[in-house]
Amino acid sequence: MIRLQNVTKVYEGGTVAARDVDLDIQRGEFVFLVGPSGSGKSTLIRLMLRQEPITRGTIWVAGKDITTLPRWKIPFLRRSIGTVFQDFKLLPNKTVAENVAFALEVLGRPRSVIRPQVDQVLDLVGLADKGARYPKQLSGGEQQRVSVARAFVNRPPILLADEPTGNLDPATSVGIMKLLDRINRTGTTIVMATHDHAIVDAMQRRVVAIDHGAVIRDDRSGRYESAMRATTELPVVDGLDAQAEYEELAAAVEAREMAEDSEE
Amino acid sequence: MSRLAFLAREAFINLRRNALVVTGAVLAVFISLSLAFGALVLNELLRINTLAWQEGTHVVAFLNDPDQGGLDPAGQRALMTEVEQWEQVLAIRYVDKAEAFVEFQTLFSDRPDFVESIDPSILPASYRIELTDIDLYRDVVFQLRTLPAVRDVRSFGEQIDQLSSLSTVLNVLGLGLALVLGGSAVILIANTIRMAIYARRDEVSIMKLVGASNWFIRVPFVLEGLIEGMLGAGLAVLTVWVASQNLQGVGDSIQLLRFNIEDAFFLRWGILLVLFGAAAGVLGSFVGLSKYLREAESKPAAA
């Protein structure tokens, strides 16, 4: 689904953000890109979106070489990729429903199609009753749910998420991860950059560790710490049990949701 | 079709939701174009008044009395027919002694003693001549002076010359002012709209991220610029027109000046100005947006 071959990105001033990266991501995979801040995770996401030109190498997305894609075709690429970011990137002057609908409007879908699809996806992310609100009227977690809804509303084959839980508290993060997990189960390939240990360890999915722009480990079913510990000297926090922490949080969230459901 | 409807709806929604920024842009167009249009109207007033001042008698030829070697009234009328044939002469009027005295009486109506002391027979008959082109007054004065029947020739040539020069200078100044203000208007409008777009540059980045093409992002912004430009220009035309109508009311009490500009002038320039405002709005949006579209192409969006 996504293939990076010898991908190198050097910024002005000589900073190497990606160094001969080779990566092959299959359809339906859920891949975590992990690594410390400045390791190059976000750069890889931006390169896959053609937000930045590549210095060397080739990136194929859905069988197409996007490094040679003419400028006018970039919007078409982006329409086949859903994106979720740490800072939500919602249009402040549009309501929740309009933000989600915008991804379908750019595709030229008629309103008769857009409305039910937006309602459906807002229902999926648990915001069916907040379609008329503006982003600033929502909590951070709710805003991120809108962002996920917008990314998924046109059922893209790929969803790229750059630190989607970076601005959220652990409980809210679990909710977002459950959403992404559900989306992944529909067959959508998900690539997520994060440095959230608990989430990576709890999800037990493929982990690609990046450091100084290079892939230093690629575990098919990995944990954050093991991936990093193999080649870097990050301090290990004594007594950290990420799996237990995640399960505890997930249970708490589920209990809260069940309580809310029964109240309704 | 549904896309175009969506983009038009987007433009109107944006106008409503960004009311403050939109008001700023409309005011910028309104103020700058009011000044430019005001300068044009002043120029038109100047033209009208210059023409008015140039109307009427340009040359007066006083005639010799018959006892001073001049012609009798019948001869004077015959000579007038001759002079009337000159190509420089648009109209000629014969003023006999009696009419000259009536004029004199009117002119000095506030000094009856002086009027009574004057013997009407000393006032000469005259020709009052209006020229086809006031610049030709020297030729006509010269030709009239060669006629034995003519005692003296007076012309308003010098005053008219001065008036013409002044009028030309003022016209150039007025047009220059209108041009400078018009040019400033374009820059001001373009800049205001650019600022409005700058305030929403993150939106442009986000739209690009979702896969919107450049034209899809551009159309609502350009429509907004078009509407802001037309609205501001329309208000400017309306304001200057209302001001001119009020001025006309004041002008009725001032005999010397004319303030009655034809409606056709306002219609012609009004339409041009609204089109100008629309074009400036579109241009401002287009240019302003291009920068952020390019930036969004190569930089990550910042929200």
pLDDT tier for residue A240 given thresholds of 50, 70 and 90: very low
Of B113, B129, B155, which residue is a domain's last? B155
Cα A112 to Cα A119, A127, A131, B2, B9: the distances in Å are 12, 20, 17, 11, 16
Joined tokens for residue A125:
């992310």
Residues B49 and B189 in one domain: yes
A228: pLDDT strictly greater than 60: no
pLDDT value at residue A141:
92
* Residue B126 phi, psi (nearest 5): -155, 165
Instruction: Report d(CA B99, CA B273) in Å as an integer.
Output: 51
CATH number at residue B131: 3.30.70.3040
Cα A244 to Cα A100, B166, B173, B233: the distances in Å are 35, 94, 83, 67
Write out the residue limits of the CATH 3.40.50.300 domain(s) in chain A: 2-80+156-263
Instruction: Report d(CA A42, CA A83) in Å as an integer.
Output: 12
Instruction: Report d(CA B123, CA B106) in Å as an integer.
Output: 14
For domain A2-80+156-263, the CATH superfamily is P-loop containing nucleotide triphosphate hydrolases (3.40.50.300)
Are the C-beta atoms of A186 and A159 separated by less than 8 Å?
no
CA distance B283 to chain A (A): 22
CB-based contact, A106 to chain B, within 8 Å: yes
Residues B84 and B48 in one domain: no
Residues B192 and B291 in one domain: yes
Q: Which residue has the tokens 């859903």?
A: A82
- Closest-CA residue of B relative to A154 is B210
Residues B192 and B123 in one domain: no
pLDDT tier for residue A144 given thresholds of 50, 70 and 90: very high
ipTM over 0.85: no
Residues B258 and B168 in one domain: yes
For residue A83, give the nearest of A152, A166, A173 by alpha carbon: A152
Residues B62 and B47 in one domain: no
Q: Whole domain around residue B45: which residue ranges?
A: 2-53+162-298
Instruction: Report d(CA B297, CA B301) in Å as an integer.
Output: 9
pTM for this model (two decimals): 0.67
- B265 falls within a domain: yes
Cα B112 to Cα A233, B96, B109: the distances in Å are 120, 22, 6
Average pLDDT over residues B127-153: 87
B211-226 confidence digits (pLDDT tens): 888 888 888 888 988 9
Are the C-beta atoms of A164 and A143 separated by less than 8 Å?
no
- Closest-CA residue of B relative to A153 is B210
Of B140, B155, B170, which residue is a domain's last? B155
Residues B76 and B151 in one domain: yes
Residues B181 and B278 in one domain: yes
Which of A54, A77, A78, A80 is the mutation pick for testing B, counting most B CBs within 10 A?
A78
Average pLDDT over residues A241-245: 52
The answer to whether the CB atoms of A102 and B210 lie below 8 A apart is yes
- Closest-CA residue of B relative to A156 is B210
pLDDT value at residue A233:
38
Residues B47 and B182 in one domain: yes
pLDDT tier for residue A2 given thresholds of 50, 70 and 90: very high
* Residue B46 phi, psi (nearest 5): -60, -45
- B303 falls within a domain: no
Long-range pairs of A108-115 with CB within 8 A, sequence gap ≥ 24: A108/B2, A108/B3, A110/B2, A111/B2, A111/B6
Residues B100 and B144 in one domain: yes
The domain total for chain B is 2
Of B126, B155, B184, which residue is a domain's last? B155
Mean pLDDT across chain A: 85
Instruction: Report d(CA A57, CA B299) in Å as an integer.
Output: 20
First-last CA distance in chain B: 31
pLDDT tier for residue A12 given thresholds of 50, 70 and 90: confident
Q: Which residue has the tokens 């800072």?
A: A87
Instruction: Report d(CA A194, CA A206) in Å as an integer.
Output: 13
Q: Which residue has the tokens 């939701």?
A: B17
Least confident of A26-30, A60-64, B202-206, B253-257: B253-257
pLDDT tier for residue B252 given thresholds of 50, 70 and 90: low
pLDDT tier for residue B270 given thresholds of 50, 70 and 90: very high
> Taking CB atoms and an 8 Å cut-off, how many pairs form between chains A and B?
74
- B18 falls within a domain: yes
B63: pLDDT strictly greater than 50: yes
pLDDT tier for residue A232 given thresholds of 50, 70 and 90: very low
DSSP strands (E only) in A104-232: 158-162, 189-194, 206-211, 214-219
- B222 falls within a domain: yes
Residues of A in contact with B213 (CB under 8 A): 72, 75, 106
Residues B84 and B138 in one domain: yes
**Dihedral angle sign, alpha carbons of residues B249, B253, B254, B258:** positive
> Of residues B22 and B238, which shows the higher confidence score?
B238
Average pLDDT over residues A52-56: 90
Are the C-beta atoms of A62 and A158 separated by less than 8 Å?
yes
Residues B182 and B293 in one domain: yes
pLDDT tier for residue A247 given thresholds of 50, 70 and 90: low
Residues of B in contact with A106 (CB under 8 A): 207, 210-213, 216
A150: pLDDT strictly greater than 60: yes
pLDDT value at residue A242:
47
CA distance B5 to chain A (A): 11
